Amino acid sequence: MTADAGHLEKAGGAEDSFETYLYLITHDLRACFRALKTIPVWIAEDLNNAEVPAEVYAHLEMLTTQALRGDRMLIDLREFSRVGRLSSPPVTEDIRSIAERCWKNLSPPDTVELDLDQAEGAVTLPHEDATRLFSALLENAVKHRDRPEGHVRIVSSSEPDARIRIEDDGPGIAEEYREKAFELLTTLRPRDACEGSGVGLALARKIVEAAGGVIGLEHVRAGRGLCVSIHLPKGEDLVN
């Protein structure tokens, strides 16, 4: 029995068997994609500017791009599998603090700004899930903009329950596609136009619903863009 099989045997159960298998599969497949990222580099070094058709190098670059996409998808699926299983107990944390931490880790372009002037209140979630939730939603807002500049705003409060609105000024999502956008591995734009694994919104929904909350997509109140609306129950309901 391998170490991973032993892990599966300990963690297995009717409720989380899918997530457990998903976690183990993504862990093992990442080794394959690491090779797929590295081997084209070795081939290019072996060629050492040899006289080969230019498309050879183009094809190596394409292979590297696809390997990076696959690896990114595996990382995101692994995070999806961890929600509700490999998380710490819920803690109460200021929404502003979570957003600032996630925004810093995201390292967005200087042309995109985050407005936290109306980010008030707190949420009670496992620390890892709070980070995953805000990271996924902020990354989506930055990634899907259709102009170099961008503006993301968080409006929130926690009286009596946590209500959070994450608004951007991007192209938005047509109403008929908003439910589909939450499906796992779904992207509404070609990956060549916008890099993405199709896990972000599915991950966000899983975290919110695991905490007894509701998440949805709406028009921004004024102008263009999209609003992710979240309603989470009172913090002490989760801690006690």
- Is the bond preceding 148 in cis, omega lying within 30 degrees of 0? no
Under 8 Å CB-to-CB from 45, ≥6 apart: which residues?
A: none
**178-208, pLDDT tens digit by residue?**
999 998 887 766 555 555 677 889 999 999 9
**Tokens found for residue 114:** 């985050």
- Dihedral of alpha carbons 67, 68, 72, 75, sign: positive
What global pTM score does this model have? 0.77
**139-157, pLDDT tens digit by residue?**
999 988 889 999 999 999 9
Q: Please give the mean pLDDT across all residues of the chain.
A: 85
Of the chain, the percentage scoring pLDDT greater than 70 comes to: 85
Q: How big is the CA angle at 64 (ends 107 and 149), to the nearest 5 degrees? A: 30
Cα gap 161→134, rounded to integer Å: 18
**8-65, pLDDT tens digit by residue?**
333 444 446 777 777 788 888 888 888 888 999 999 888 887 888 889 989 999 999 8
Exposed/middle/buried for residue 94 (C-beta within 10 Å: 0-12, 13-18, 19+): middle
What pLDDT does residue 11 have?
A: 42
